[in-house]
Amino acid sequence: MHKANSLREPAEPEKSPSQNTQLIEAINLCHSFGDQDVLQDISLTLHRGEIITLIGPNGAGKSTLLKILLGLLKPSSGEVWRRPNLRIGFMPQKIQIDPTLPMTVERFLALGKQANLKPDADDTTISSQQILEDLNLQALLNKPIQKISGGEMQRVLLARALCTRPQLLVLDEPVQGVDIQGQSEIYQYINQIRNEYQYGILMVSHDLHIVMKHTDQVLCLNRHICCSGHPQEVSQSEDFITLFGEHDPAIAVYEHHHNPHVCGHSHGDGHIHLHHPDQESDSK
Amino acid sequence: MFEFSPFLATALIGGIGLALISAPLGVFVVWQRQSYFGATLAHSALLGVSLALLMQTNLSGTIIVVSLLIAWGIFTLNHTQQLSSDTLLGILAHSSLALGLILISLQDSVQIDLMGYLFGDILSLNQNDLILIAVTGVLIALFYWKHWRDMLNITLNSELAQVEGTEVKKVQLQFILLLAFMIALSMKMVGVLLVTSLLIIPAAAARRLSHTPEQMLGWSLILGVLSVLTGIAGSYWYDLPTGPAIVMMATLIFGLLLFKKQ
């Protein structure tokens, strides 16, 4: 049995089945910059195979909370428990690379691979080759990283996060700068790898309508957690409506169902290769 | 036409050594857009000089300590004050230079070659400096042997690097320490005002020739040594001030490479 080597033991010594799959837990986090409170009393728990989406307006403290969970920032009070030796794959929100640095996409991805990883028995993992194929990155490998488009960059960053063989994926605005079809594809791909490899996924988004479908739990953040739960409940809760307004039915969410039997368009560059397109149609 | 005096030998060996320790630090200064940070450390070196004269302490050692204090000041002020780091660097660079000049002017008992500190005097390099340059060179080689990959990852995105397990703060601190060493030593050759050019110009010129970070390191080593050698030669034959001659040769190489198609 694993014991926490650093921050804290799990709350109860008797492990319930759910605690075996628990990846990260935040307990009563508070944070302030100077005299400004940014986060108040945030608690959350993420298990394997679970997707939690953090939404909230600008300035709600989403990035601060993410930094605390990633261990980049110490909270003013409260604790973070991480599963011992938790491997986190992180996809930062934006990355700026000076054009004077000569670096190809391939080198960028190679720099992320951790050399000292021991394969563990309980992990089903995805090979780097598979990641490149799924995210359709082979054609980009020899390009300078500064010359690829915003959407391509998001796929490269996702690939780098996946190459570290994570147990927990933390994605900060994963579809920023991606066109609407690409967004739907990225979300479907994230859902698919969650189903296949049981990664726990924590992501931040400000576009709530499109992320909702596969998310197990939505946390609506505005310094404190103003509502949380299954997407359906959250979108009908009063706090949510006050914060974001009602779901505008005029914003239709386009979902890309690539089924070669029905749809004959070319499956060329820029597409993500979903393993089993048929599985995706259950949600219609 | 060419007489090989011991002074010249020391100058040549020292110059080559300084080019070899500047280039590896310079590529990261360029990649991380830290040239103004380097310039600030260099300007503060004059404050180090005047304090060393005032307190009768070791020159290079005092410069290194002052540079580190300034670097520490930049980091803490950056996190607590509402100033852009650009403005903050400008304030620290010039106030430390001004304070250095004032402190030097107060010491009228000592004959001080102010021009030598501002623009360099390669003939002031001595045996001790050569040893310090060699030691710094070894430290830099060890640092990159252990942390080259870490430094590249920090350059790409420091938060991502930290999540992936790089000890960002520790590595950055070591880098700044080496930068302070390099500035304290090169100041004698090219002077406070021109030190940053040794970091920036060979690296910028090397960009045109390189397709990987390692190639850029290699080319900046070669171009840095070439600038120093041609600069010293120009200074020897045409009686030019050595520091400015080295900087102009580096700039000439940079300019010529701009014509190269990438």
Instruction: Give the pLDDT band of residue A9 (cuts 50, 70, 90).
Output: very low
Q: What is the pLDDT of residue B161?
A: 92
Q: Identify the CA nearest to B97 among candidates B123, B127, B71, B118.
A: B118
Query: Does residue A219 or residue A258 have the better pLDDT?
Result: A219
The residue of chain B with its CA nearest to that of A116 is B165
This prediction's pTM: 0.84
First to last CA, chain A: 42
H/E segment holding residue B38: helix B35-55
pLDDT tens-digit profile, chain B (262 residues) = 456 677 888 889 999 999 999 999 999 999 998 888 888 988 898 899 889 888 888 888 898 899 888 888 887 777 666 667 788 888 888 999 999 989 888 877 666 778 888 888 888 888 888 999 999 999 999 999 999 999 999 999 999 999 988 999 899 989 988 998 898 888 888 888 888 999 999 999 999 999 999 999 999 999 999 999 999 999 889 988 888 999 999 999 999 999 887 6
The residue to which tokens 């580190």 are assigned? B68
Of B156, B163, B211, the CB nearest to A102: B211
Which two tokens mark B91? 């304030």
The nearest CA of chain A is from the CA of B219 a distance in Å of 13
**CA-CA distance, A107 to A146, in Å (whole number)?**
12
What pLDDT digit, counting tens, does each position of A122-152 carry? Answer: 455 677 788 888 888 889 999 999 999 888 9
Q: Is residue B58 part of a domain?
A: yes
Task: List phi, psi (to 5°) of A173.
Answer: 50, 65
Chain A partners within 8 Å of B212 (Cβ) = 102-103, 107
Test A102 with B210 for CB contact under 8 angstroms: yes
The residue to which tokens 């090397």 are assigned? B206
Give the count of Cβ contacts less than 8 A between chain A and B.
Answer: 62
**Burial tier of A120 (Cβ tally within 10 Å: 0-12, 13-18, 19+):** exposed
Task: Report which residue type is found at B144.
Answer: Y
Best interface-test mutation with B: which of A74, A101, A148 has the largest number of B CBs within 10 A? A101
Chain A partners within 8 Å of B160 (Cβ) = 90, 92, 95, 112, 160
Tell me how many degrees the CA angle B14-B16-B20 measures, rounded to the nearest 5: 115
Test A101 with B160 for CB contact under 8 angstroms: no
The nearest CA of chain B is from the CA of A130 a distance in Å of 21
Q: Is residue B176 part of a domain?
A: yes
Q: Identify the CA nearest to B245 among candidates B126, B117, B122, B115.
A: B122
Q: What is the pLDDT of residue A108?
A: 93
Are the C-beta atoms of A191 and A273 separated by less than 8 Å?
no
Q: Is residue B37 part of a domain?
A: yes
Q: Dihedral (C-alpha) B172, B173, B174, B176: value to the nearest 10 degrees?
A: 90
What pLDDT digit, counting tens, does each position of A155-175 carry? Answer: 999 999 988 888 899 999 888
Chain B partners within 8 Å of A90 (Cβ) = 159-160, 163-164
The residue to which tokens 């940070």 are assigned? B37
How long is chain B?
A: 262
Domain with B118, as residue range(s), is 6-258
Q: Is residue B203 part of a domain?
A: yes
Test A111 with B153 for CB contact under 8 angstroms: yes
Q: Is residue B36 part of a domain?
A: yes
Which two tokens mark A6? 């650093």
Of B149, B163, B203, the CB nearest to A90: B163
Instruction: Give the pLDDT band of residue A269 (cuts 50, 70, 90).
Output: low
Give the DSSP per-residue string, chain A. Answer: ----SSS---SSSSPPHHHHTEEEEEEEEEEEETTEEEEEEEEEEEETT-EEEEE--TTSSHHHHHHHHHTSS--SEEEEEE-TT--EEEE-S-----TTS--BHHHHHHHHS-TTPPP-TT-----HHHHHHHTT-GGGTTSBGGGS-HHHHHHHHHHHHHHT--SEEEEESTTTT--HHHHHHHHHHHHHHHHHH--EEEEEES-HHHHGGG-SEEEEEESEEEEEESHHHHHHSHHHHHHH-S--TTS--------TTT------TT----S-GGGGGGG-
Are the C-beta atoms of A221 and A60 separated by less than 8 Å?
yes
Q: What is the pLDDT of residue A60?
A: 82
Are the C-beta atoms of B122 and B15 separated by less than 8 Å?
yes
> In chain A, pLDDT over 90 holds for what percent of residues?
18
Chain B partners within 8 Å of A170 (Cβ) = 163
Residue A260 has pLDDT above 70, yes or no: no
Dihedral of alpha carbons A140, A146, A152, A154, sign? positive
CATH code: domain of residue B94: 1.10.3470.10
Please give the distance of CA B22 from its chain centroid, rounded to a whole number.
6
Test A102 with B160 for CB contact under 8 angstroms: no
Q: What is the pLDDT of residue B57?
A: 86
**CA-CA distance, B243 to B11, in Å (whole number)?**
12
Q: Is residue B1 part of a domain?
A: no
Q: What is the pLDDT of residue B212?
A: 95
The nearest CA of chain A is from the CA of B27 a distance in Å of 9
Task: List phi, psi (to 5°) of A227.
Answer: -160, 155
**CA-CA distance, B49 to B42, in Å (whole number)?**
11
Q: What is the pLDDT of residue B83?
A: 67
Alpha helices in B82-212 (DSSP H): 85-106, 114-119, 127-156, 158-163, 168-190, 195-207
Chain A partners within 8 Å of B156 (Cβ) = 95, 97, 101, 103, 108, 111
Residues 6+ apart with CB under 8 A from A184: A210, A253, A254, A255, A256
Instruction: Give the pLDDT band of residue A180 (cuts 50, 70, 90).
Output: confident
**CA-CA distance, B48 to B64, in Å (whole number)?**
8
Q: How many domains does chain B have?
A: 1
Q: Identify the CA nearest to A269 among candidates A104, A128, A152, A160.
A: A152
Q: What is the pLDDT of residue A116?
A: 45
The nearest CA of chain A is from the CA of B96 a distance in Å of 29
Q: Is residue B251 part of a domain?
A: yes
The nearest CA of chain A is from the CA of B161 a distance in Å of 8
Q: What is the pLDDT of residue B109?
A: 63
Task: List phi, psi (to 5°) of A56.
Answer: 160, 155
Instruction: Give the pLDDT band of residue A121 (cuts 50, 70, 90).
Output: very low
Least trusted range by pLDDT, from A70-84, A204-218, B161-175 = A204-218
Q: Is residue B184 part of a domain?
A: yes
Instruction: Give the pLDDT band of residue A281 (cuts 50, 70, 90).
Output: very low
Best interface-test mutation with B: which of A66, A100, A153 has the largest number of B CBs within 10 A? A100
CA distances from B243 to A140, B134, B139, B246 (A): 44, 20, 25, 5
Least trusted range by pLDDT, from A55-69, A164-178, A189-203, A235-249 = A235-249
